């Protein structure tokens, strides 16, 4: 149980276009989902936290208008990179939390590699 999927796993797009990444909790309802960005051999950097039905909370320094997050249901959150540029190329990881139990563990998706040409 507690499986999180991401789609697509890899995407290549042209500069100036928008890209949508989906994050789904397959066998549980996720009260909270998190979006991370990771550069090669670096740590995960939290971009934003989303709760179903409400606006996402962005970390300092993350452009809200560039990285649009929608948490439309308890099993789906989307990250849209708008007007993508080569510097947006990175590995994006989502995680989902059930909000249950003392630890409230996060379950991670397999990640999406974005390459902007």
In this structure, what token pair is assigned to residue 93?
């990881």
Please say which residue, 80 or 91, places its beta carbon nearer to another protein. 91
Closest CA to 90 of 98, 99, 79, 100: 79
In this structure, what token pair is assigned to residue 101?
């139990």
Please say which residue, 14 or 41, places its beta carbon nearer to another protein. 41
Please say which residue, 6 or 78, places its beta carbon nearer to another protein. 6
Q: State the Cα–Cα distance between residues 35 and 44, nearest whole angstrom.
A: 9
- Contacts with another protein, residue ranges (CB under 8 A): 32, 34, 38, 41-44, 46, 49, 51, 91, 93, 95, 97, 99, 102-106, 108, 110-111
Shortest CB 81 distance to another protein, Å: 18
Shortest CB 11 distance to another protein, Å: 15
Shortest CB 58 distance to another protein, Å: 12
CB 56 within 8 A of CB 69: yes
CB 97 within 8 A of CB 32: yes
Please say which residue, 51 or 82, places its beta carbon nearer to another protein. 51
Shortest CB 20 distance to another protein, Å: 20
CB 12 within 8 A of CB 63: no
């Amino acid at each position: 149980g507690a499986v999180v999927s991401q789609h697509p796993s890899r995407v290549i797009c042209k500069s100036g276009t928008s890209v949508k990444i989906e994050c789904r909790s397959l066998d549980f309802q996720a009260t909270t989902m998190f979006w991370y960005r990771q550069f090669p051999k670096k740590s995960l950097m939290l971009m934003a936290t989303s709760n179903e039905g409400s606006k996402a909370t962005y970390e300092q320094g993350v452009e809200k208008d560039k990285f649009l997050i929608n948490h439309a249901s308890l099993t789906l959150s989307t990250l849209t990179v708008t007007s993508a540029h080569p510097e947006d190329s990175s590995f994006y990881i989502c995680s989902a939390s059930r909000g249950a139990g003392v630890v409230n563990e996060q379950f991670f998706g397999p990640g999406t590699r974005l390459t902007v040409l």
